[in-house]
Structure 1
Amino acid sequence: MDPLKSITSIAASGMHAQGQRLRIVAENVANADSRGTTPGADPYRRKTVSFEEMVDRNSGSSMVRVAEIGRDQSEFSLIHDPAHPAADENGFVKVPNVNSIIEMSNMREAARSYEANMNMFEAGRRMRNQILDLLK
């Protein structure tokens, strides 16, 4: 297999995986303030992303992919809001287990990983073009 094609395949798999991670983080942030609609109902539960290594059969290259999109099973916080429709008999409402600071940290990490993979993809493309120029 062409090593330069392998570079672009590996980088593309990383960009795809980090793109999925960014979508999950964006969903978590968008739902950080959502609450249930009936008393005792659970609010939005934070989603998590797990990656795994996969080997491309054509090139033998190790790549990355999303293994699982799971749910964070940590406890929900409670706030006192007796006027909310989802308030229990004591006036407490469950709020999502989404921490905006952690989500912003995850978003920054995913964006930087995506950018690193994009740079590798571009480097592979430049090397391929340089080889073609040398062969002319």
Structure 2
Amino acid sequence: MSLFDSIGIAGTGVTVYRKWLDAVSDNIANMNNAAPTNGAAFQARYVVAQEAADGKGAQVGGIELGSAEGRMVHEPNHPNADANGYVRYPDINLSDQMGSLIMAQRGYQANLTVVDRAKTAYEAALQLGRS
């Protein structure tokens, strides 16, 4: 494996983890969005990672959506409340999302570190040629 391969593979990891971070941030931002009971709740997004087609790295294989059913909450004063006083909230757990956020952030940082170290090694190799 060359230095360029390691940069390319780590770059694919950066992309996957960035998409995961985007999905988690969307989930957290929308977890308190209430919908009428006759509509669908916000559906959480979950990134599905898979091996890249060329076998070098990873790629986003798709996005899975959470339940549109959500959870029913009794809030009779809410503008979206039905006749019985219920509204529909997304079924998103903040603790799970924060755990995912930490894992995605660490993976993102690790892949950026690989890119940085490979770049440093490549620059050192160039300096050897100049001597």
Normalised by the length of structure 2, the TM-score is: 0.90
Q: Residue 102 in 1 paired to residue 96 in 2?
A: yes
Unaligned runs of 5+ in 2: none
Normalised by the length of structure 1, the TM-score is: 0.87
Paired residue for 2:124?
130
Deviation at 1:124, TM superposition (A): 0.6
Paired residue for 2:13?
14
Unaligned runs of 5+ in 1: none
Bigger mean CA offset, 85-94 vs 99-108: 85-94
Q: CA RMSD in A?
A: 1.7
Paired residue for 2:34?
35
Identity between Structure 1 and Structure 2 (%): 26
**Amino acid in the other structure paired with 1:83:** N
Which of 44, 47, 66 is matched with 1:46 structurally? 44
**Amino acid in the other structure paired with 2:4:** K
Deviation at 1:126, TM superposition (A): 1.0
**Amino acid in the other structure paired with 2:79:** P
Given that residues 49 and 70 in structure 1 are in contact (C-alpha distance below 8 angstroms), is that contact kept between their aligned partners in structure 2?
yes
Paired residue for 1:24?
23
**Amino acid in the other structure paired with 1:13:** T
After TM superposition, the runs of 4+ consecutive aligned structure 1 residues lying more than 6 A away are: none
